[in-house]
């Protein structure tokens, strides 16, 4: 590194000014690049000094070199530049000496500050309401960073009088493209920024414009100094990259708007566009009100409006986007984690959205920072009554800095009812009040959402579905609740004997995260052997006390419809009873194990939801086809199949069965499907045939996947189910876990039957097909209200849970009638037994004063069901044995 004296430096500049004058005076000056020549001379001087080994460049040493370059320089014979040239040369001399702090500030400091500010605070992204997110992805951040970096490199080169290579110029050209794009995008903000300059806050929006001007200046200057080509290539290359990066966002944005259209064709085009070229992650962001990560979104909007005749580009709001997300992916938007570009951003719109969803009837979107910390499921199986009581204890935690509401839709065991609800307040257990659905919801909204105190609410949200809501889970705190469920066991006759099937409750939909490491701790106890348990649950036979099945299940395993526990009912009594005083002090509920003769059907239409995740289910269905008898008439409808299939059932000859299997194999299982309209067509197909002959009633077997959106086309099938009087029925089988709004909605209608899952889908479908096509006796439990005097001698007395199950069924039956008195009676029956039904709910409030104000009364602790501890269990068994002995002796004596 050479050290220049000030005299030498000034002399060099004087020489270069003189050279410029010489060049200007040269008659051939138009044929040459003056700046290039000056740059060459400068490089030559440096080279010469280096060859001379000069570490210190003083005036004498420099003049020695200059003398060889231009003999006579310094003797006053150089041409005098014209006055105008002298003035401009003087300015140029200043500029050449150092790029200057203004260039460094505008080209490097300002864009860096703007980049850091936007990355850390997301000012534009939040303040512009999603209209412009300047840094939607990491790639955009890197692109922006290129501008100050290249400016800094080129300015420092210019300071050192060095020229960059072609690589540097290429990157500079890329930076120029990035800067130009951002400068154009921010042009609408320039007037506002200019005004805001007076207040000292307007510089940041001007950063793109200022920095790109510096980039352009540096490129021009470098070229004049003789830098090689490359800038144009870099500019073009960056333009191509920008287009590739932006295509997914543009297609997602246009596709989401098309998909939100009322026009079915347009909507399907939108879904296809997103599937082909769009981004699921960006669509997921739209579900939370964050627009696709597109820098060119404003341009995209204009393009779409101009060329696709989209007159309403803003209709793809978060609600519509949630529907589109399901149609594109086949899963609910809240089944996946909040995307990283949504989580952690200062997004007031999203926070407002979260608040508006609190206390609502839908689970809605994932809430930032809310997660399930612990989960335990304790179940006691009463084989004597073929029922079970399950307690699910859940502990939520909130890592965010604001109060959150935890919401979840929970799938109950088939035929089950919530019979207990507990909230821990300051370490104490508080039991719920059961009352009409309207009343408990009003109390919850008032106490939770308005007063922001500590309630938990449980209400039904469909057949065997409940909605659990707790608020507030305070920032940095936890909230613990317990839901008690009384449910009958499903009966199944196997070669080994009669078995009871226990399903566990599981999440269908939730607005909180569950870590993949979290396990649901499961403990099941009962008097009989546990024959089959899901993987992760082990059956244990202790030396004394009840049989136990214990272990842990991941959330995915718990939600799997095939995760059931099979209990031996060998030796279980055929009749059981319990006191019931709702109607009569001497009343009793008698449960009898009986058989029901099923009439075989004449025609079957299989409807398959052909969405994502259903391929395996389709293979299981193909196996079920092989079990069909030849004389039955069948057809297959695949929801999502391109062309409308012929639904009229035909004889199940091998060729017909093979054609149905081929269609299953050829179908592309992708995205989400809406099956309401196809179910109605299938129902019509079996009904019309049923009118024409007398082969027995028709049936539709609907193997469904997930339907996470609201009920498009549900009215047609609802109407048919409600009006059908010819015995035609619709059997719904869950192929995979997840939310299914249509199945939940249809669940309470006549002629609709949810087929409980008993294990593997192949076996369940095969069992259903055999049952429907062959008919024959099926085991059923019949419960009825009688007088205690009518209880048979051999009936076993069981727990109050039997009365709860009976009351739940009876209440639902009464609530479904059109007689007001019956409906009221149904509600009273449910409330007397502390059950959550369609018309009743449960709420836990924080204090006695809150219960009183809302006209509610919490359940007394001695009247709630519970899972007995092992010691209690042993004692109860002993007492029950003694009681039975005493009763038996008393009766024999009588």
Partner 1 sequence: MPNSDFLNNWTVQARKGLLELGVLNALIAEERYGYDLVKSLVAWSGLDITEGTIYPLLSRLRKQGLLKTRLVESSGGPARKYYSLTDEGREARRFMNQRFDVLVAGVRSMSRGTIEE
Among residues 48 and 529, whose Cβ is nearest to partner 1? 48
- Residues 716, 676 contacting (CB under 8 angstroms): yes
Tell me if 58 contacts partner 1 by CB under 8 A. no
What part of residues 417-436 is at the interface with partner 1 (CB under 8 A)?
A: none
Residue 538, token pair as written in the block = 């082990």
Among residues 75 and 450, whose Cβ is nearest to partner 1? 75
Among residues 77 and 493, whose Cβ is nearest to partner 1? 77
Binding mask 68-107 for partner 1 (x = CB under 8 A): xxxx------------------------------------
- Residues 564, 501 contacting (CB under 8 angstroms): yes
For 5, phi then psi, to 5°, come to -80, 160
Name the minimum Å distance from CB 80 to partner 1: 18
Stretch that binds partner 1, among 44-52, 246-254, 314-322, 768-776 (CB under 8 A): 44-52
Among residues 43 and 131, whose Cβ is nearest to partner 1? 43
CA angle 434, 435, 436 (to 5 degrees): 140
Q: Which of 3, 88, 90, 162 binds partner 1 (CB under 8 A)?
A: 162
Burial class for 892, CB neighbours closer than 10 Å (0-12, 13-18, 19+): exposed
SS3 615: helix
Name the minimum Å distance from CB 23 to partner 1: 6
In angstroms, rounded to a whole number, what is the distance separating the alpha carbons of residues 256 and 301? 12
In angstroms, rounded to a whole number, what is the distance separating the alpha carbons of residues 228 and 222? 8
Among residues 160 and 495, whose Cβ is nearest to partner 1? 160
Name the minimum Å distance from CB 230 to partner 1: 10
In angstroms, rounded to a whole number, what is the distance separating the alpha carbons of residues 261 and 733? 31
In angstroms, rounded to a whole number, what is the distance separating the alpha carbons of residues 292 and 317? 12
Q: Which of 8, 16, 17, 41 binds partner 1 (CB under 8 A)?
A: 41
Give Cα 693 distance to the centre of its chain.
48
Tell me if 40 contacts partner 1 by CB under 8 A. yes
Show the 3-state SS of 766-834.
Answer: HHHHHHHHHCEEEEEEEEEEEEHHHCCCCCEECCCHHHHHHHHHHHHHHHCCCCHHHHHHHHHHHHHCC
Tell me if 26 contacts partner 1 by CB under 8 A. yes
In angstroms, rounded to a whole number, what is the distance separating the alpha carbons of residues 408 and 625? 37
Q: DSSP letters along 287-356, please?
A: HTTPPPS-TTHHHHHHHHHHHS--S-GGG--HHHHHHHHHHHHSS-GGGSPPPTTTTTS--HHHHHHHHH
Name the minimum Å distance from CB 165 to partner 1: 5
Tell me if 846 contacts partner 1 by CB under 8 A. no
Beta carbons within 8 Å of 153's beta carbon, 6+ residues apart: 164, 168
Q: Is the dihedral of CA 752, 575, 590, 499 positive or negative?
A: negative
Among residues 226 and 298, whose Cβ is nearest to partner 1? 226
Q: DSSP letters along 348-373, please?
A: HHHHHHHHHHTTSSS--S--TTEEEE
Name the minimum Å distance from CB 93 to partner 1: 18
What part of residues 142-161 is at the interface with partner 1 (CB under 8 A)?
A: 160-161
Q: Which of 12, 163, 590, 709 binds partner 1 (CB under 8 A)?
A: 163
Name the minimum Å distance from CB 24 to partner 1: 11
Q: Which of 7, 47, 478, 631 binds partner 1 (CB under 8 A)?
A: 47
Tell me if 550 contacts partner 1 by CB under 8 A. no
In angstroms, rounded to a whole number, what is the distance separating the alpha carbons of residues 154 and 149? 9
Name the minimum Å distance from CB 163 to partner 1: 5
Q: Which of 10, 13, 24, 42 binds partner 1 (CB under 8 A)?
A: 42
Binding mask 673-702 for partner 1 (x = CB under 8 A): ------------------------------
Name the minimum Å distance from CB 42 to partner 1: 7
In angstroms, rounded to a whole number, what is the distance separating the alpha carbons of residues 341 and 136? 7
Name the minimum Å distance from CB 160 to partner 1: 8
Among residues 165 and 571, whose Cβ is nearest to partner 1? 165
Binding mask 219-238 for partner 1 (x = CB under 8 A): -------xxx----------
Contacts with partner 1 by CB under 8 A: the residue count is 33
Among residues 142 and 167, whose Cβ is nearest to partner 1? 167
Name the minimum Å distance from CB 238 to partner 1: 22
Beta carbons within 8 Å of 314's beta carbon, 6+ residues apart: none
- Residues 578, 865 contacting (CB under 8 angstroms): no
Tell me if 882 contacts partner 1 by CB under 8 A. no
> Any idea what DSSP says for residue 444?
H
Name the minimum Å distance from CB 60 to partner 1: 19
Among residues 24 and 216, whose Cβ is nearest to partner 1? 24
Please name which of 621, 613, 561, 619 lies closest in space to residue 768, comparing C-alpha atoms.
Answer: 621
What part of residues 187-226 is at the interface with partner 1 (CB under 8 A)?
A: 226
Count Cβ atoms below 10 Å from residue 458 Cβ, excluding itself.
Answer: 25
Beta carbons within 8 Å of 367's beta carbon, 6+ residues apart: 354, 400, 404, 405, 406, 511, 512
Q: Compute CA distances 697 → 601, 673, 829, whole Å.
A: 5, 28, 35
Tell me if 31 contacts partner 1 by CB under 8 A. yes
Among residues 234 and 735, whose Cβ is nearest to partner 1? 234
Among residues 24 and 832, whose Cβ is nearest to partner 1? 24
Stretch that binds partner 1, among 46-54, 243-251, 735-743, 842-850 (CB under 8 A): 46-54
CA angle 157, 160, 165 (to 5 degrees): 35
In angstroms, rounded to a whole number, what is the distance separating the alpha carbons of residues 384 and 546? 13
Among residues 16 and 394, whose Cβ is nearest to partner 1? 16
Name the minimum Å distance from CB 85 to partner 1: 17
Stretch that binds partner 1, among 45-53, 107-115, 334-342, 383-391 (CB under 8 A): 45-53
Among residues 50 and 142, whose Cβ is nearest to partner 1? 50
Name the minimum Å distance from CB 64 to partner 1: 12
Q: Which of 10, 13, 33, 266 binds partner 1 (CB under 8 A)?
A: 33
Sequence length of the chain is 894
Stretch that binds partner 1, among 65-73, 206-214, 432-440, 489-497 (CB under 8 A): 65-73
Q: Which of 9, 10, 13, 46 binds partner 1 (CB under 8 A)?
A: 46
Tell me if 23 contacts partner 1 by CB under 8 A. yes
Tell me if 164 contacts partner 1 by CB under 8 A. yes
Name the minimum Å distance from CB 40 to partner 1: 4
β-pair type (513-514, 537-540): unpaired
SS3 20: helix
Among residues 20 and 804, whose Cβ is nearest to partner 1? 20
Binding region for partner 1 (CB under 8 A): 19, 22-23, 26, 28, 31-33, 36-37, 40-44, 46-48, 50, 68-71, 160-166, 226-228
């Amino acid at each position: 590194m050479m050290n220049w004296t000030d005299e030498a430096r000034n002399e060099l500049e004087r020489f270069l000014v003189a050279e410029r004058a010489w060049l200007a005076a040269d008659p051939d000056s138009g044929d040459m690049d003056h700046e290039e020549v000056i740059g060459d001379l400068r490089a030559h001087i440096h080279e010469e000094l280096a060859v001379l080994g000069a570490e210190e460049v003083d005036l004498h040493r420099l003049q020695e070199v200059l003398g060889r370059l231009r003999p006579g320089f310094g003797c006053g014979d150089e041409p005098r530049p014209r006055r105008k040239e002298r003035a401009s040369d003087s300015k140029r001399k200043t500029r050449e000496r150092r790029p200057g702090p203004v260039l460094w500030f505008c080209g490097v400091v300002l864009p860096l500050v703007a980049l850091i500010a936007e990355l850390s605070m997301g000012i534009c992204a939040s303040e512009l309401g999603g209209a412009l997110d300047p840094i939607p992805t990491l790639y955009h951040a890197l692109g922006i960073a290129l501008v100050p970096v290249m400016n800094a490199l080129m300015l420092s080169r210019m300071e050192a009088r060095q020229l960059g290579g072609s690589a540097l110029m290429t990157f500079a050209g890329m930076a120029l493209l990035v800067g130009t794009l951002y400068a154009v995008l921010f042009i609408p903000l320039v007037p506002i920024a200019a005004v805001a300059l007076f207040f000292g806050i307007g510089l940041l929006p001007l950063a793109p414009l200022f920095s790109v001007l510096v980039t352009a200046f540096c490129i021009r200057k470098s070229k004049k100094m003789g830098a090689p080509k490359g800038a144009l290539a870099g500019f073009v290359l960056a333009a191509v990259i920008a287009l590739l990066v932006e295509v997914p966002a543009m297609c997602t944005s246009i596709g989401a708007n098309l998909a939100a259209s009322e026009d079915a064709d347009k909507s399907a085009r939108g879904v296809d566009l997103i599937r082909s070229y769009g981004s699921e992650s960006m669509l997921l962001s739209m579900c939370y009100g964050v627009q696709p990560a597109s820098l060119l979104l404003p341009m995209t909007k204009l393009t779409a409006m101009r060329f696709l005749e989209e007159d309403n580009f803003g209709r793809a709001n978060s609600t519509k986007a949630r529907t589109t997300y399901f149609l594109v992916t086949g899963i609910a938007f809240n089944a996946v984690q909040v995307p990283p570009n949504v989580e952690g951003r200062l997004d007031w719109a999203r926070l407002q959205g979260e608040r508006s969803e609190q206390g609502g009837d839908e689970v809605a979107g994932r809430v930032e920072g809310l997660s399930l910390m612990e989960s335990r499921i304790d179940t006691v199986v009463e084989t004597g009554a073929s029922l079970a009581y399950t307690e699910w204890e859940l502990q939520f935690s909130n890592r965010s800095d604001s109060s959150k509401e935890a919401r979840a839709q929970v799938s109950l065991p088939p035929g089950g009812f919530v019979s207990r609800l507990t909230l821990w307040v300051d370490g104490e257990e508080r039991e719920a009040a059961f009352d009409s659905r309207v009343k408990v919801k009003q109390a919850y909204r008032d106490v939770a959402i308005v007063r922001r105190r500590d309630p938990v609410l449980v209400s039904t949200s469909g057949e065997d579905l409940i909605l659990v809501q707790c608020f507030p889970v305070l920032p940095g705190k936890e909230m613990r609740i317990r839901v008690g469920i009384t449910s009958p066991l499903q009966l199944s006759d196997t070669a080994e004997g009669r078995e009871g099937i226990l399903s566990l409750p599981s999440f269908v939909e939730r607005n909180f995260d569950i870590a993949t490491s979290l396990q649901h701790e499961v403990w099941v106890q009962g008097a009989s052997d546990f024959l089959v348990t899901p993987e992760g649950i082990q059956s244990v036979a202790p030396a004394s006390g009840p049989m136990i099945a214990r272990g842990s299940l991941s959330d995915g395993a718990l939600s799997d419809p095939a995760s059931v526990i099979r209990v031996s009912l060998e030796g279980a009594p055929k009749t059981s009873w319990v006191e019931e005083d709702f109607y009569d002090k001497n009343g009793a509920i008698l449960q009898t194990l009986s058989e029901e003769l099923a009439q075989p059907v004449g025609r079957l239409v299989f409807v398959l939801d052909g969405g994502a995740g259903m391929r395996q289910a389709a293979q299981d269905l193909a196996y079920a086809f092989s079990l069909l008898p030849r004389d039955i008439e069948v057809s297959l409808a695949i929801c999502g199949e391109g062309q409308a299939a012929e639904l009229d059932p035909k004889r199940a000859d091998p060729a017909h069965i093979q054609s149905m299997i081929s269609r299953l194999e050829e179908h592309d299982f992708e995205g989400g499907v809406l099956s309401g309209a196809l179910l109605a067509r299938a129902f019509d197909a079996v009904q019309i045939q049923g009118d024409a002959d007398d082969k027995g009633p028709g049936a539709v077997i609907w193997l469904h996947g997930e339907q996470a959106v609201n009920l498009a086309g549900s009215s047609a099938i609802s109407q048919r189910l409600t009006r059908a009087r010819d015995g035609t029925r619709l059997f719904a089988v869950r192929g995979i876990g997840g939310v299914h709004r249509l199945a939940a909605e249809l669940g309470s209608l006549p002629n609709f039957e949810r087929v409980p899952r008993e294990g593997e889908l192949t076996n369940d479908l095969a069992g259903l097909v055999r049952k429907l096509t062959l008919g024959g006796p099926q085991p059923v439990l019949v419960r009825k209200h009688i007088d205690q005097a009518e209880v048979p001698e051999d009936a076993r007395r069981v727990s109050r849970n039997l009365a709860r199950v009976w009351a739940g069924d009876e209440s639902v039956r009464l609530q479904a009638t059109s007689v007001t008195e019956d409906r009221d009676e149904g509600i009273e029956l449910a409330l007397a037994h502390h059950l959550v039904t369609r018309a009743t709910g449960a709420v836990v409030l924080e204090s006695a004063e809150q219960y009183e104000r809302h006209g509610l009364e919490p359940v007394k602790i001695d009247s709630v069901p519970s899972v007995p501890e092992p010691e209690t269990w042993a004692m109860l068994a002993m007492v029950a044995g003694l009681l039975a002995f005493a009763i038996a002796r008393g009766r024999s004596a009588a």
